[in-house]
Structure 1
Amino acid sequence: MKQLEDSQLETFDTEYVNDKRWQIIKEQIERDFPEGDFTFLDVGGGNGLFADRLLSNYPKSRGTVLDNSELLLSKNKSNSRKNLICDSVEHLAQLDGKYDLICFNWLLHHLVGNSYSETRRNIAAAIEAVIPLLTSRGRVSIFENMYNGLLFDGLPSHLIFTLTSNQAIAGFTKKMGANTAGVGVCFLSQKQWVETLNHTSLNLLKYSDDDKWGIPLKWQIFLHLGNIRCGHFWLVTQTC
């Protein structure tokens, strides 16, 4: 898989789970883990801010943050209940722990390969890879952005990947606002995410989303974008 440079990773030293999105996942956690006693793995957890919020709100919880960026992991606050692992999502199968909750927060669209089809396979493989790591009561939480097309649902996904993964026009795409310019990014529509998840051995328990974003007119025209919004998938294995 391709990896962003440190200068690009700096832009991800933030936290995207705002208060409204926190309420979405908080509702699921408190329904399925009412005592607040659970273990979690934050895949691509970077600076650890999301993990810190879980640990703060649920004093009985214990967590692990996995990320392949030493830069972002170095931003983590020390916590006796938090473990840090510097490794790639490609090596998830090598982990020997079991977790009650495994989180992908805006990570999956960054699992870029040498082609669009390879990237889609990377996304599916990462989701499948965490299933053996779940406990008998395990849940998978996925936050992602839904890039829905105007007339052709999946067209924005293809267009954005093609433009951002092209190194020859990286300067142009960076000016257009793509912080993944020259590497690539694979946003999917809500329908594409559902189709991807339907091909795994996970069942969807709850889908939630927030308000539609304001989209610049140039994005609507050139990227065939109908709407963008953040969506959250709460999943369980079919054996649970």
Structure 2
Amino acid sequence: MSENLTKQRIIMIETIGFPVILIGDGIMETKAINQKQKEIYAQWEQSSMDRFCKNYSSLIDRLQERESISILDIGGATGYFANALAVLLSDKSKVSVCVVDAVKYEPWENLTNKVQFIQADALTLKHLFEKETFDCIFANRIFHHLVSHSWVESVKNMHALCEQVYDLLKQDGYFAVTDHYYEGIIWDEITSKLLYQYTSHNKRMIQKLLYQMGAKSAGTGVCMLSEKMWHTMLESTGFLIENELASPGVWRNLEWYKAFGLLNKRYSLDNVMVCTKKQHEPGRDCI
């Protein structure tokens, strides 16, 4: 590694505000996007940020009771939500926010001095931070994108991230998740597997058809769980869902042909699950 890259790496470690462990050279390329993409992403992220802040309002109020707050936003992409958190919490507390995402978009590098960015895969968190570092960890619409070469491996990825989050969270910390539920007519797991198989299809014609039907992740895959599967995963990892801080989404029905093809009974978007650590050591059984 060159001397310049070494200096960049040292600067990042010194300014991150958290105990960071970097493996390898720690340097990745920044992904530039065009103006049209920037406008689309900016509009989408702005509306999402407002929704997230509203859904997490009770949690934010509770965090403001602490003198100092360390926050991790997994998959924070644009940094809009991280910036909003830094502004909302800084009025009453000393706050430090870190965003970890696999892609760093060039137009959004001007984060506030309270927000730091680490470009890394979500499943490498245990290599980046020491245990019990954060007061709160957010994962907004991230889990269903942790896809691998099979449905089973994708679910294992989701469990692995839960376990890493558990280790990085302080004993009195919060794990805040926003994600979607898909429930099956017969068996939830069948619907989850079918959705994964359809969206992971490598045939271009099939991908195009699915995209036109509304599957924006056609060709890359998604791994959606039901409400029961979500709760089982979180609880087996050692988390307790705080119902008073949770915010369920609105249940909807797919068009009949989509519901038939996925054996789907209903689905719900942007369900908020706020979790705390159980007092005992988790068994961490898989679903």
- Please state which band the TM-score falls in when normalised by the shorter chain: 0.7 to 0.9
Name the CA distance, whole Å, in 1 between partners of 2:32 and 2:210. 18
Name the CA distance, whole Å, in 2 between partners of 1:199 and 1:67. 26
The range that moved more, 158-167 or 10-19, is: 10-19
Paired residue for 1:86? Answer: 119
Q: Is the CA contact 1:46–1:69 (under 8 Å) kept in the aligned structure 2?
A: yes
Q: 1:75 aligns with which of 81, 97, 108?
A: 108
Matched, 1:220 2:259: yes
Q: Is the CA contact 1:49–1:76 (under 8 Å) kept in the aligned structure 2?
A: no
Name the CA distance, whole Å, in 1 between partners of 2:223 and 2:113. 35
Question: How far apart are 1:151 and its partner, in Å?
Answer: 3.4
Name the CA distance, whole Å, in 1 between partners of 2:189 and 2:213. 21
In structure 2, relative to structure 1, the CA distance for the partners of 1:227 and 1:21 (3 Å cut) is: farther
Name the CA distance, whole Å, in 1 between partners of 2:75 and 2:183. 24
Mapping 1:142-153, distance limit 5 Å: 142-153=177-188
SS at match of 1:232: strand
User: Higher relative CO (CA 8 A, sep ≥ 6), structure 1 or 2?
Assistant: 1
Paired residue for 2:199? Answer: 164
Name the CA distance, whole Å, in 2 between partners of 1:12 and 1:202. 32
Paired residue for 1:55? Answer: 86
Name the CA distance, whole Å, in 2 between partners of 1:131 and 1:160. 28
Q: Is the CA contact 1:43–1:104 (under 8 Å) kept in the aligned structure 2?
A: yes
Name the CA distance, whole Å, in 1 between partners of 2:189 and 2:129. 36
Percent identity over the alignment? 24
Q: 1:181 aligns with which of 204, 218, 221?
A: 218
Name the CA distance, whole Å, in 2 between partners of 1:152 and 1:191. 11
Q: Cα RMSD (Å) of the superposition?
A: 2.5
Unaligned runs of 5+ in 1: none
Q: Is the CA contact 1:21–1:210 (under 8 Å) kept in the aligned structure 2?
A: no
Letter in 2 for 1:38: I
Name the CA distance, whole Å, in 1 between partners of 2:166 and 2:225. 21
Mapping 1:111-130, distance limit 5 Å: 111-130=146-165
Name the CA distance, whole Å, in 2 between partners of 1:205 and 1:157. 25
Paired residue for 2:5? Answer: none
Paired residue for 1:155? Answer: 190
Deviations 1:85-110 (A, max 9, x none): 11101211112351110011010110
Task: Report the TM-score, using the length of structure 2 for normalisation.
Answer: 0.73
In structure 2, relative to structure 1, the CA distance for the partners of 1:22 and 1:85 (3 Å cut) is: same
In structure 2, relative to structure 1, the CA distance for the partners of 1:215 and 1:36 (3 Å cut) is: farther
Structure number, greater radius of gyration: 2
Q: Is the CA contact 1:64–1:85 (under 8 Å) kept in the aligned structure 2?
A: yes
Letter in 1 for 2:98: T
Name the CA distance, whole Å, in 2 between partners of 1:42 and 1:50. 8
SS at match of 2:242: strand
Question: How far apart are 1:57 and its partner, in Å?
Answer: 1.3
Name the CA distance, whole Å, in 2 between partners of 1:184 and 1:47. 22
Question: How far apart are 1:68 and its partner, in Å?
Answer: 0.4
